[in-house]
Structure 1
Amino acid sequence: MRQNLTFDFTVNKENNTVEVKREFAADLDLVWEAWTNPAILDQWWAPKPYRAETKSMDFREGGRWHYAMISPKGEKHWGVNDYLTIETQKGFSCMDAFSDENGNIDPDLPRTYWNNDFKQTGSTTFVTINARYNSLSDLEKVIEMGFKEGFSMALENLDQYLEAQFLLRRQNKTNTKARVCTYLNFAGNTEEAFLFYKSVFRTEFVGKGIQRFGDIPAAPGNPPVADAVKNMILHVELPITAHHILMATDAPKEMGFNLTQGNNMHISIEPDTREEAKRIFDELSAGGVVSMPLEDMFFGAYFGSFTDKFGINWMINYQNQ
């Protein structure tokens, strides 16, 4: 989280509530999307090394989000969120509960009544979260289970990872000239792979070369990068034949990723205009599965990703200047 952004966590044992006030350096529509789009929720809802995985989501009044928190060993801890009220880009309320894989609620564990309010204030967005429990013992149990630490970690890790990764991409590409790249993910051996590719194509890395997670100083208020992650590759770019660019990052299980052959490679299109980015995205994604809608992101790009109807993964990325 950037310096001077609000993050307050208050426990009130008199009325069995927790109030969280969190400020984001992003527009309201982007923050709302991060809380209501399952593809984005899966990226940040679980604190590392856990990861979140949505089984189903119906974001409407009376709808439900059914998801799992998955441990590094693959153990799944299920939960459901039943949506009660929704006022688009203003707030929503819901009842959260522990459950089984079929969505049956566990009556022996606490339920949380969430009320989330969203408000744009200049260039930032405030989210005020009120979590209420049926009893003091329920409140104390979730605090003991690490609610504050886990929730804080998830938000901060998402900020740090996305902002750092896309900052480097902007540094390496200083104009809006169109190009096509191939974006690769590796389970911790990016450096080995790219040193091999470099020797084959006899080219040099773009910009500052291999960038590691440990090279990026934590912003004030952010936790330092974990020792196990510091030496992993955050971003690297290598020109190959005909100036085509290979890009890559490490995406190991320790950071909540689950790579398989097929989801570890994207064709990345960087059009020279915003209009062309939208045209390509809309036409190429027709009949496919959109994993992230094309939108303005708080890291400075007009970005979206999808798998087309033939099973090929694509990223569309126009860098706002």
Structure 2
Amino acid sequence: MPVIGSHKDVQALTLTFVAEFDAPVERVWRLWQDPRQLERWWGPPTWPATFEQHDFVVGGWSRYHMTGPDGEKSRGWWTVTAIEAPHRLEFDDGFADENGEPVGAMAPSHTVVTLEAVGARTRMTTVTTFADAEQMEQMLAMGAEEGLRLALGQIDGALADVPR
């Protein structure tokens, strides 16, 4: 399992995951940059993602949905807020309606992804910050922590299937 640590900080309203992969930073970066590679791991195995739009530039939008085992779709969006290729990505992440448009039922969370070389491997740290304690509690109750752990667990397979 690539996840080597996770931490919930209720005071700071953050959920942090640290994972390591047997691939160089530039290769792991492509997993975020290329929507077809992102689909290979974003979302837990029983809820695979489909990215209908993925504008990987600052200010760019991503629209996606995850499809559950019974065909149910959960839709979401990202707005990319910072890119420092190939080491840092920041984005806001929220829920979307059936047209992929943001819904205001819950404020978006903000995620910072950092990639650093550790020898020939890559350490990826994701820190998700929630708008408030209620949002954090709701997302954790919806399975966000276990879902991200399972999603990250699929990255080794995605790395193995695509040439470096």
From 4, 8, 16, give the equivalent of 2:5.
Answer: 8
Residue type of the partner of 1:132? T
Long gaps (5+) in structure 1: 167-291, 297-321
- Map of 1:63-82 to 2, 5 A cutoff? 63-82=60-79
Aligned to 2:33: 36
Q: Tell me the CA shift for residue 72 of structure 1.
A: 2.2
Do structure 1's residue 104 and structure 2's residue 97 form an aligned pair?
A: no
Classify the secondary structure of the residue corresponding to 1:142.
helix
Do structure 1's residue 135 and structure 2's residue 132 form an aligned pair?
A: yes
CA contact (8 A) 1:110 1:142 kept: no
- Map of 1:213-232 to 2, 5 A cutoff? none
Aligned to 2:17: 20
Tell me the C-alpha RMSD between the 2 structures. Answer: 1.8
CA contact (8 A) 2:40 2:158 kept: no
Distance 2:33 2:140 in 1: 25
Distance 2:154 2:100 in 1: 28
Do structure 1's residue 157 and structure 2's residue 164 form an aligned pair?
A: no
Classify the secondary structure of the residue corresponding to 1:105.
coil
Distance 1:160 1:31 in 2: 12
Distance 2:3 2:73 in 1: 32
CA contact (8 A) 2:49 2:64 kept: yes
Distance 1:56 1:157 in 2: 21
Residue type of the partner of 2:152? L
Aligned to 1:45: 42
Do structure 1's residue 95 and structure 2's residue 92 form an aligned pair?
A: yes
Q: What TM-score do the two structures reach when normalised by structure 1?
A: 0.48
Q: What TM-score do the two structures reach when normalised by structure 2?
A: 0.91
Q: Give 1 or 2 for the bigger CA radius of gyration.
A: 1
Q: Tell me the CA shift for residue 75 of structure 1.
A: 1.9
Aligned to 1:215: none
Q: Tell me the CA shift for residue 6 of structure 1.
A: 5.5
For residues 143-162 of structure 1, give each alpha carbon's deviation from its aligned partner in whole angstroms, at most 9, with x where no partner exists: 11111211111222342587
CA contact (8 A) 1:63 1:82 kept: yes
- Map of 1:142-291 to 2, 5 A cutoff? 142-159=139-156, 163=160
CA shift in 2, pair 1:6/1:96, >3 Å? closer
Asked which structure has the greater RCO (Cα within 8 Å, sep 6+), the reply is: 2
For residues 168-193 of structure 1, give each alpha carbon's deviation from its aligned partner in whole angstroms, at most 9, with x where no partner exists: xxxxxxxxxxxxxxxxxxxxxxxxxx
Long gaps (5+) in structure 2: none
From 35, 52, 55, give the equivalent of 2:52.
Answer: 55
Distance 2:158 2:89 in 1: 27
Identity of aligned residues (%): 27
Q: Following superposition, which runs of at least 4 residues in structure 1 exceed 4 angstroms of deviation?
A: 160-163
CA shift in 2, pair 1:6/1:123, >3 Å? farther
Classify the secondary structure of the residue corresponding to 1:44.
coil
CA shift in 2, pair 1:161/1:83, >3 Å? closer
Distance 1:76 1:134 in 2: 24
Classify the secondary structure of the residue corresponding to 2:71.
coil
